[in-house]
Structure 1
Amino acid sequence: MRRRRSLTRRGAGALVAALLCVIGANLVAAPILLYIGVLLALLTGFSALMAWLPRRTGTVSRQVSTDLLTVSETSRVSIRFALRSLRVPHALWHDVLPDAVSGDAGGEYPPQSGQLGYRITGVRRGVWPIGPLVLRTVDPFGLAQREQEFGETRTVTVVPEVFALEPLAVRVGAAGGTAHTSSTRLGQGADNLSPRFYLPGDSMRRIHWRATAHRGQLMVRQEEEESSPDAIVVLDRSAERWDRPGDDADAAFEAAVSLCASSAVHLADEGYGVDVIDSAGVLLGTLRGHEDDRDALLVALALIAPRGDHRDVATLIGGAPPGPLVYITGRLTEDDAASLRTAGAAAGILLATGPEQGAAEAATRNGWSFAPLGDDVAAAWADALPERIGVGDVPG
């Protein structure tokens, strides 16, 4: 535990005045100035002893009302402070906060309520330390002060803000984006059965009697596979797309991360199984209807930063093309957009924070539904939504 002891401005002024009085007493031969100087020095020393001589120890425990703090969200921090001292001092306390969260983390000690607490608001995503708790006491003359730190720090995770987005106009996939999107299953009802002509070797139990009577020839039931493709959200965080990371947050990259989280959660709420990957193919999270999956994704996005290179979309996706494919990137030239393919996705949605001239037209020619991404994440998503998803051929 580190202790810091120092004089107040008044105390420092008293020492300076004491020194000047001693010097003046020698210069003008005035003993009264010497007495005043000595008195001021002794009073300052006595005040310092009163401030820092008492021995104090204590323990601190903090509890944050939310496990994950969202950017712009407010949460309450409750502190249990057990101070061990000969007498309870009248002091001021404050909790050390990083710039990534804001709040009025201080007050008088001891508080009238008996509890220490304050509210914090997330400002910048990441994992940040809160604390230690600092207790500041001042002697009755206001000449000396003592600042003493208690307890360890506690980390708080600030995750990107998740916005409510407009629904897709038409859901992709035969199942319409149900909770079983990741499965491929044989249909068992009339909706997914189509009759075909009888072939030698077909079981008689599969004869479709209604179609046979209608056609006048033996027809059998053919079970069609029904599937609803998963959705994929790609966050292009390759270094060439973004400004070099610095002390201040890149507003464009923060908007991209927020849209990545918002679109993934939105598609999962619509019933799709969602995979979130970066431009190098690293899996950031999956959403399959579990709350823990959502929290794990938000924590991963809280720590993400621009780095690495990007790979071809078809290489990222791998096997079967997805239903909705959301691709979020930064700077986008016309050549970049011309080489960016939807890889056979049923619906390709492309958003860029820095599209250059000709990029939007090139992306549209490749089958993307394109929109620039600015500060308003929800509005950019609405602009990027195709008028009708899953209809017509999409270039691969």
Structure 2
Amino acid sequence: MRRRRALTIRGAGALVAALGCIIGANLVGAPILIYIGVLLALVTGFSLIVVRAPRRTGTVSRQVSTDLLTVSETSRVTLRFTLRSIRVPHGLWHDVLPDAVSGDSSGEYPPESGQLSYLITGIRRGVWPIGPLMLRTVDPFGLAQREQSFGEHRTVTVVPEVIALAPLSVKVGAAGGTAQTSSSRLGQGSDNLSPRRYIPGDSMRRIHWRATAHRGQLMVRQEEEESSPDALVVLDRSSARWDNTGEEADAAFEAAVSLCASSAIHLAGEGYGVDVIDSAGLSLGTLRGHEDDRDGLLVALAMVSPRGESRDLTTLIGGTPPGPLVYITGRLDEEDAALLRPSGAAAALLFSTDPLAGASAAAAQHGWTVTTLGSDVAEAWEDALPARIGVGDVPR
């Protein structure tokens, strides 16, 4: 952060004029110019003393109205600034903001309301510092200035934007999209009952007479839990899939991260337990209905960037096929698409920001619904839905 000079442009001009008057007085023999030059120099020096001599100390505390700032979301920052000084200076304050957030973080000091506050809008994912608070004062003549920093910075976490998505009408198992759904299996003769031995205290109404007659001992109906397969969201962030743009944000990768967050939260809302991993198998978050799961996922996604290499998808899935499987990748050629196997996932959705020639057809042969992901995340998700597995369909 560049420091301001002690003299304003007017103050520097006054010193130059003072020096010119002294030199001109010797050249033209006009003593009055010496007086003018000395007066200008004295006034400039006095302005420097007035502005910079008083001792000032202060403390700053900041409070952001939202714990996590979403991209494109607006939040209010409130500062409590306590200044200890001989007199209350009049000037301008501004809070130093990173390029990742925008806002008018400046104003006159002291404020009429007695409180410093401003609005910020998230622009780019990440964890960014806000501060320090800068106070700039100028003397009454406008010749000298002082800019002083107060307090430390605090961080603000900008998380990816979560887009509302259309329902994914895929019925997986008996639970049909509701994880860990309990079902009382009453009625004799049900094919899917799991009888167990009678335990003292069991209700006589739960006796399974057919199983009792078959085994020669009292058996009762077992109330079991059905569970839907968990949903799996995979973000392929291997560096080969994305353009490396240095410090600039890659719009395609940002759309992929937004879809990753949106689809995971959407599937959790439909009742699935959701695991979110990257293409190397690193866990980015899990959604199991706990209060902090969502924030934990968003914080992890706030800091992801393209890096590393991807592993075989079959290895990542393991032996248990997931329910819905969402795979999000960048540049995808035909050879790599042919290697992606959904491993029996009930609904396999593949999103690519840049599918090359033949990639979509190669992936579709393995049961993927392939969709090009552009800047509109909700539209891409909607495009994937017409070809989804319908109610009662069983993937093969």
- Compute the TM-score of the two structures, normalised by the length of structure 2: 0.89
After TM superposition, the structure 1 = structure 2 runs for residues 95-114 of structure 1, keeping only pairs within 5 Å, are 95-114=95-114
C-alpha displacement at 1:262, in angstroms?
0.2
The count of corresponding residues between Structure 1 and Structure 2 is 375
Q: In the alignment, which residue of structure 2 is the partner of 1:194?
A: 191
Alignment match, 1:89:
89
Q: Secondary structure at the match of 1:327?
A: strand
1:195-227 per-residue CA deviation (whole Å, 9 max, x = no partner) reads 79xxxxxxxx54559xx9xxxxxxx99999843
Secondary structure of the corresponding residue to residue 13 of structure 1: helix
- Distance 1:43-1:239 versus aligned 2 partners, 3 A rule: same
1:383 paired residue number:
383
Aligned mates of 1:224, 1:80 — CA distance in 2: 57
Q: Which residue of 2 aligns with 1:65?
A: 65
Match of 2:176, as an amino acid?
G
Q: In the alignment, is the contact (CA less than 8 A) between 1:128 and 1:156 conserved in 2?
A: yes
Alpha-carbon distance in structure 1 between the residues aligned to 2:169 and 2:189: 23
The equivalences for 1:347-358 within 5 A come to 347-358=347-358
Deviations 1:339-373 (A, max 9, x none): 11111111100000111111111111110011000
2:188–2:210: 8 Å Cα contact kept in structure 1? Answer: no
Residue in 1 aligned with 2:308? 308
The aligned runs of 1:175-214 (5 Å cut-off) are 175-180=175-180, 188-189=185-186, 193-194=190-191, 206-208=208-210
| C-alpha contact 1:187 1:226 (8 A) present in aligned 2 | no
Give the CA RMSD over aligned residues: 2.5
Q: 2:296 corresponds to which residue?
A: 296
In the superposition, the TM-score normalised over structure 1's length comes to: 0.89
Distance 1:231 1:389, change over 3 A: farther
Distance 2:143 2:76 in 1: 35
Q: CA deviation at 1:23?
A: 2.2
Match of residue 270 from structure 1: 270
Share of identical aligned residues, percent? 72
- Give the distance between the partners of 1:91 and 1:195, measured in 2 at CA: 78
What secondary structure sits across from 2:55 in the alignment? coil
Structure 2 vs 1, CA of residues 387 and 279 (structure 1 numbering), >3 Å: closer, same or farther? closer
AA paired with 1:299?
V
Query: Which residue of structure 2 aligns with residue 240 of structure 1?
Result: 240
Structure 1 CA distance for aligned equivalents of residues 340 and 376 of structure 2: 24
**Aligned partners of 1:265, 1:392: CA distance in 2, in Å?**
24
CA gap of 1:187–1:319, structure 2 versus 1, over 3 A, is: farther
Structure 2 gap ranges (5+):
194-206, 215-219
Please state if 1:75 is matched with 2:72. no
Q: Confirm or deny: 8 A CA contact 1:371 1:380 kept in the other structure.
A: yes
For the residues of structure 2 that align with 1:364 and 1:276, how far apart are their CA atoms? 23
CA shift at 1:267, angstroms? 0.2
How far apart are the structure 2 equivalents of 1:29 and 1:206? Answer: 124
Unaligned runs of 5+ in 1: 197-204, 213-219
1:105 shift after superposition: 0.5
The answer (yes or no) to whether the contact 2:188–2:208 under 8 Å persists in 1 is no
1:31-50 correspondence runs (5 A): 31-50=31-50
CA distance in 1, matches of 2:183, 2:62: 53
Would the aligned equivalents of 1:4 and 1:148 in 2 still touch at CA under 8 Å?
A: no
